[in-house]
A = this chain, B = another copy of it.
Amino acid sequence: MTILEEKILKEGKVLDGGILKVDGFLNHRVDVAFSALLGKEIYNHFKDCGINKILTVEASGIGLACLTAQFFNCPVLIAKKSKSLNISSDVYSAKVYSFTHKTENTVLVSKEYLDANDKVLIVDDFLANGNACVGLVELVKQAGGEVKGVSCAIEKTHQGGHQRLVDMGIDVYSLARIKDMVDGKVYFMED
């Protein structure tokens, strides 16, 4: 069991509708020292991949992305979410459908900050169906860069995003892998 899986069992709560409440340490009140430990784990997995940029999307993955980037000694590029269709020509953009909010957003980054030399690690807090990550992969491809991996704190493996990214040939490394949540109890892939 990973340190994050232990923390989820200790401090997380399963709410109605299959929502995992981890806002006490991950995405509302952020336990920064703990998140830095997660960043170190991510670094240990990807440290030999030549990563020179971490890509995340606003807002809840930003903290983990920045703390992880300290180990790689690289910048973080934060994709913006926009509902606007008026996308200017100086950005890369991709559409992302959110099942949670039942809306389609556009994620975008300035062309100035992503290019064909980039070896990118995508970092986010959650990986569920993978829509957000696939959108971020699309941005890197538009720039001609290379996605060296995807690392999310918590993966809801049963929602398919992990397999979808693996099928695209991507190294997916999550710090907690949820197999299922039943009757308020969390089951991890190792269980």
Q: Are A78 and B59 in contact (CB under 8 A)?
A: yes
Q: How many copies does the complex hold?
A: 2
- Cβ of A6 within 8 Å of any chain B Cβ, yes or no, is no
- Cβ of A36 within 8 Å of any chain B Cβ, yes or no, is yes
Q: How far, in angstroms, from A29 to B62 measured CA to CA in the complex? A: 11
A44: min CB distance to chain B, Å: 18
Among A92-100, A108-116, A152-160, A167-175, which stretch is in contact with chain B? A108-116
- Cβ of A135 within 8 Å of any chain B Cβ, yes or no, is no
Q: Are B28 and A78 in contact (CB under 8 A)?
A: yes
- Cβ of A18 within 8 Å of any chain B Cβ, yes or no, is no
A113: min CB distance to chain B, Å: 4
A interface residue numbers (CB < 8 A to B): 23-25, 27-33, 35-36, 58-60, 62-63, 65-67, 69-70, 73-78, 80, 109-110, 112-113
